[in-house]
Structure 1
Amino acid sequence: MIPRSLKLALGAAASLALLLPVFLLAPGRSKPPMPARVLPPLAAPVTPPLRHVFDRSLFAAPVEAALPADAPQLTGIVGRLGSDAVALVRTAQGSSRSLAVGDSVDGWTLESLSIDAALFRRGGQQARVPLPAVDPELPAQ
C-alpha cells in the first residue's frame, strides 16, 4: 500500500510534467527572433600560406637537395637502427669504410641513420645521403 503523502507527491509531479510543456509552448509566450547579424566576407589572403605544399604532387617522391661533390657515398646500412647500426660509405678517394654515428670521414660527421639514408654534417653544411636505388632488372649478387 502506498502512503497518502507519496500519492499526492506523485500526482503533483505528473500534473507538473503534463502542464509545463503546454505552458511553455503557449502562443504569445515566445520571444521574437533576434535579427541575424550580417558579417562581412572574410578577405582571402593574397598568397595562400604553405603554397609550396599545395603545388607539389601528393604522392611524388620528395626532391632531394643536391649533394656536395665531396660528400661520402652511402653504399649500405648494417645493424639495428638506434643501437648498433653502421653506415657503409665510399670516401672521395674510393676506399670503403664503416662509420658509427659520431664517426667522421673526409671532414663529414655521421649525425644519424635512417632506414634509407644517412645524415652527415660538416660545419654549417648538412647532407642527407640516400641509399642508392636498386635496379630490379639486375641479378642479385
Structure 2
Amino acid sequence: MARVTRPQGIAIAAVAAAILVPLWLLQPSGGSPAPDRFEQEPFAAPPAPPPLRAAFARPLFAAPVLDGAPPADAPQLIGIIGRLGRDAVALVRGSDGTRTLAPGDSVDGWQLRSLAIDAAYFTRGGQSARVAVPGSDDQR
C-alpha cells in the first residue's frame, strides 16, 4: 500500500472540505423554521403610472408669470446698461429726473433689488414690482 505524503494529505483534506462545507451549510437547521413573513403578506402592486397623454397635453415651456402692471409710482425703467452679474446698472426715470441705479440703490422709496436681461426688480416695504424694459415682449 502506498503511503500518502503530508502535502498529498493536505490537498485531499482541502478538496474534501471544499465539497463537504457547502453541503453542510445548505442543510436545513435542526430547530424550528423561522416564519416566512413574505408568504404571509403579499407585496402590494405598484401604482399605475399616469397615462402619457397627460404628459403630451402639457405645454413644453410655461408662459411667463406676469404679476400685472407695476404700481403707478414705481420708477420707470429706460434701459439696462452693462454686464449682468458684474457692472450692470439700470437707467431709471424717477420724480427727480433720470439717473442710474446699481442693485441696492434707491429712488423715490423704491430699492433696486436685482436686474434681469429684460426687467428690473424693485421693492418698497412689503411691495415688490417687476418693471420691464420698454419694448420688451413682456409688455402687453
TM-score scaled to structure 2, two decimals? Answer: 0.57
Which residue number in structure 2 is paired with residue 124 of structure 1? 126
Spell out, residue by residue over 1:97-128, the C-alpha distance to the aligned partner (whole angstroms, 9 max, x if none): 32112222222111222333322111221123
SS in structure 2 at match of 1:121: strand
SS in structure 2 at match of 1:89: strand
Q: Is the 8 A contact 2:118 2:136 kept in 1?
A: no
Q: Is the 8 A contact 1:70 1:92 kept in 2?
A: no
- What's the offset of the Cα at 1:92? 6.4
Question: Do structure 1's residue 107 and structure 2's residue 109 form an aligned pair?
Answer: yes
- What's the offset of the Cα at 1:87? 0.8
Letter in 2 for 1:24: L
Separation (CA, whole Å) in 1 of partners of 2:26 and 2:110: 80
- After alignment, is 4-13 or 17-26 more displaced? 4-13
Structure 2 stretches of 5 or more lacking a match? 45-57
Question: Do structure 1's residue 20 and structure 2's residue 21 form an aligned pair?
Answer: yes
Find the partner of 2:86 among 78, 83, 87.
Answer: 83
- What's the offset of the Cα at 1:60? 0.9
Identical-pair percentage: 55
Q: Which has the larger radius of gyration?
A: 2
* Shift in alpha-carbon separation, 1:88–1:8, aligned structure 2, 3 A: farther
Which residue number in structure 1 is paired with residue 51 of structure 2? none
Which residue number in structure 2 is paired with residue 44 of structure 1? none
Separation (CA, whole Å) in 2 of partners of 1:64 and 1:22: 73
SS in structure 2 at match of 1:24: helix
Separation (CA, whole Å) in 1 of partners of 2:9 and 2:119: 82
Question: Do structure 1's residue 73 and structure 2's residue 76 form an aligned pair?
Answer: yes
TM-score scaled to structure 1, two decimals? Answer: 0.57
Separation (CA, whole Å) in 2 of partners of 1:9 and 1:75: 93
Spell out, residue by residue over 1:1-58, the C-alpha distance to the aligned partner (whole angstroms, 9 max, x if none): xxx76665554344323222222334xx16465133549x8xxxxxxxxxxxxxx856
Structure 1 stretches of 5 or more lacking a match? 42-55, 136-141
